[in-house]
Amino acid sequence: MEPINELYSELWWSNLLRALLLIAAGYFAAKICTKLTQRLVGKRLSSHPLGVTTNAVFWIVWLLFLVNAFHQMGFKVSVLLGAAGILSVALGFASQTSASNLISGLFVLGERSFSIGDTIQVGTTIGEVLAVDLLSVKLRTFSNLYVRIPNETIIKSEVTNLTKYPIRRFDLRIGIAYNADIAKTREVMFKVANDNLLCLEEPKPLFIVSGFNTSSVDIQFSVWSAQENFLTLKNTMQEQVKLALDDAGIEIPYPHLSLYSGTATKPFPIEIHNIGEQKMTIPNRGANRERS
Amino acid sequence: MIALNDISRFEVQSTSAGDGYCLLFGQAFIQIQRHPNEWRAEYSYGEPARENGWIQFGELNTSRLIMNADDCTLKLTPKLANRPIVVRPLTTVEIPAGKRATLYISTILWLEIIVNDTPLLELPAVRLSDTWFGPNTREGELCYASNTRARLNPKLLETAPYKALTPVEINNRGSKKLSLERLKVPVPALSLLENEGDYWTSGLQASIETELNSAKIKIDYHPPASTTPIAAPRQPPEKGVLHRALNLFLE
């Protein structure tokens, strides 16, 4: 009881006053330091990292004054710090996930792979970035859902920023029939791109015969647009290409399956049965029949 | 029907609701009508006229501006495009080392419709396709694309009341032949001028020392005395903006 009695001695009130003054002065000093930080690095940092930096400055400065205030009140700072150390280790073990997210958050902020307002894809989720916080990134999906992604996930997984650059390429993949003229198809598609005002003239559209599939010759036609016109271009190009190919008589085939009965055998007889009543037989006309 | 030759001076006081005006400006068909408490502009774009003189227009777009019942002054102002225009000469132009040439490039005008000093609508005479001008797909600028004959004599150019001529003086001070495939005309930084019924812009002077990407461009801010200023530059050129334009001027 003796130390407590000493604590309540005549010095107590003056120490308390000093401590309160230190806390108040610390608060104002921290505010001034925050303002100074804002002035010094405000132009170099975007709004979010700036907020994190100023918060950190405020708490560090004020914490120093708080520790000093405790010292004034007679607490042994070394003991307090030791206790804080043990507590932080215990807390660290208990909050591994949060700490991991916190550290990942610093890396996410430092990397600047995306910022507020960008549209990103994480895994299968695509959305507009609402906030980049220390623990998580908040997204708004195009179906207006609010998605919170922990920073640890962001650091560990592949993140695609869809709005990083001002222009974007749309790859239109289409198959044409084997009997279609590839040169004519190229001409038709370039004309569609040329007539579409949203399709950029430079970089030039790209026409690639990407492979020979089971039922079609596969074509990739890549066109560029401004970031903000991407969805409109995607919609209009697909519609216009379909119409233009139809007009030019170029078939977009559906899967075909050819059945051969072989040269040594007779062709397959085909019978079509209606439900219940009628029965119709189609006579054999050729060796090979195509069925789809 | 508003006559195109008077477009830069067109100002009319409408007397009553129901008054209507229409205009064919390039490929744009515009009709403007005064309603009791609003002004309404409808516009559409058509293909070039057919042999029989008929022009087919697309769907009409409408723009409405709510105004007071006594707001009756209608004014038209031609303007230069709101983005730089990248022109591609129909045939590549080559300028030998140590030579200088002045090319005349015509670019499409925009029209601003103003009711009592309030803009109602702004639209181009011809809708131009977008294009990208820059060293790669990450850095550069979104522009409009156009073709040019890049005439050396302005009299040979087809003048139209919805086009403006820009004189571009290119001075090849390097030791190699200069091949000009694309040219960015920074029209938002140029003034629009009128001379004897034709529209002109401030001139451009490009000087190439060694390489194309070190081209220096200068805007001529002192138009000839015979010209009348019609519209000020949309973007007064700032230090940085002009510098960026210099490096990307020729490709």
Average pLDDT over residues B78-105: 86
State how far the Cα of B189 lies from the Cα of A184, in Å rounded to an integer: 43
**Mind giving me the DSSP string for chain B?**
---GGGGGG-EEE--STT-EEEEEETTEEEEEEEETTEEEEEEEEBPSP-TTS---B---EEEEEE--TT--EEEEEEEE-SS-EEEEESS-EEE-TT-EEEEEEEEEEEEEEEETTEEEEEEESSPPPEEEESSSSSS-EEEEEEEE--BSSGGGS---TTEEEEEEEEEE-SSS-EEE--EEE-GGGS-EEEETTEEEE--EEEEESSSGGG-EEEE-----TT-EEEE--SSPPPHHHHHHHHHTSB-
- In this predicted structure, what is the pLDDT of residue A289? 45
pLDDT over 90 (residue A205): yes
State how far the Cα of A92 lies from the Cα of A85, in Å rounded to an integer: 10
- In this predicted structure, what is the pLDDT of residue B223? 66
- In this predicted structure, what is the pLDDT of residue A265? 66
Is B133 in Cβ contact with A202 (below 8 Å)?
A: yes
Is A225 in Cβ contact with B129 (below 8 Å)?
A: no
Average pLDDT over residues B79-96: 86
Which pLDDT band holds residue B15 (cuts at 50, 70, 90)?
Answer: confident
Contact (Cβ atoms closer than 8 angstroms) between residue B214 and residue B248: no
- State which residue of chain A sits closest to B87, comparing Cα positions: A201
Is A165 in Cβ contact with B129 (below 8 Å)?
A: no
Q: What letter represents residue A290's amino acid?
A: E
State how far the Cα of A206 lies from the Cα of B215, in Å rounded to an integer: 30
pLDDT tens per residue across span B175-201: 888 888 888 888 888 888 888 778 888
All residues of chain B having their beta carbon less than 8 Å from the beta carbon of residue A226 are: 130, 142
pLDDT over 60 (residue B238): no
pLDDT over 70 (residue B212): no
Higher pLDDT, A30 or A266: A30
Is A224 in Cβ contact with B132 (below 8 Å)?
A: yes
Average pLDDT over residues B33-58: 79
Q: Cα distance from A38 to chain B (closest Cα, Å)?
A: 25
Is B132 in Cβ contact with A200 (below 8 Å)?
A: yes
Q: φ and ψ at A146, to 5 degrees?
A: -95, 120
Q: Is B145 on the interface with A (CB under 8 A)?
A: yes
Segment 175-194 of chain B within 8 Å of chain A by CB: 182
Which pLDDT band holds residue B37 (cuts at 50, 70, 90)?
Answer: confident
Is A229 in Cβ contact with B129 (below 8 Å)?
A: no
For residue B216, give both structure tokens.
Answer: 């220096």
pLDDT over 50 (residue A287): no
Is A203 in Cβ contact with B137 (below 8 Å)?
A: yes
The share of chain A scoring above pLDDT 70, in percent, equals 85
Which of B127, B131, B138 minimises the CB distance to A201? B131
Residue A272 DSSP class: E
Which pLDDT band holds residue B136 (cuts at 50, 70, 90)?
Answer: confident
Q: Is B128 on the interface with A (CB under 8 A)?
A: yes
